[in-house]
Amino acid sequence: MANKFDDNFIQAQKKKLIELKNQVLNSMKNTQVEDLQITPEDSSEDGDLAQVVISQNVSFGLREREIKRLREIDVALRKIEEGTYGFCEVSEEPIEKKRLEKMPWARLSLEAAEEMERIQGFKTAI
Tell me the pLDDT band of 124, cut-offs 50, 70 and 90. Answer: low
CA 49: distance to chain centroid? 31
Within a domain: residue 64? Answer: yes
Within a domain: residue 104? Answer: yes
Q: What is the pLDDT of residue 104?
A: 97
Within a domain: residue 1? Answer: no
Q: What is the pLDDT of residue 4?
A: 76
- Say yes or no to pLDDT of 11 above 90: yes
Q: By residue range, what is the domain housing residue 70?
A: 7-125
Structurally, how many domains does the chain consist of? 1
Q: What is the pLDDT of residue 31?
A: 72
124 vs 6, higher pLDDT:
6
pLDDT tens for each residue of 41-95 = 555 555 666 666 666 666 667 788 999 999 999 999 999 999 999 999 999 999 9
Give the pTM. 0.74
Within a domain: residue 12? Answer: yes
- Say yes or no to pLDDT of 106 above 80: yes
Within a domain: residue 99? Answer: yes
Q: What is the pLDDT of residue 62?
A: 79
| CATH number where 88 lies | 1.20.120.910
Q: What is the pLDDT of residue 30?
A: 79
Tell me the pLDDT band of 120, cut-offs 50, 70 and 90. Answer: confident
Distance CA(61)–CA(124), nearest Å, equals: 21
Q: Which amino acid is at 33?
A: V
Within a domain: residue 109? Answer: yes
Distance CA(93)–CA(97), nearest Å, equals: 12
Within a domain: residue 2? Answer: no
Helix (H, G, I), strand (E, B) or coil at 94: strand
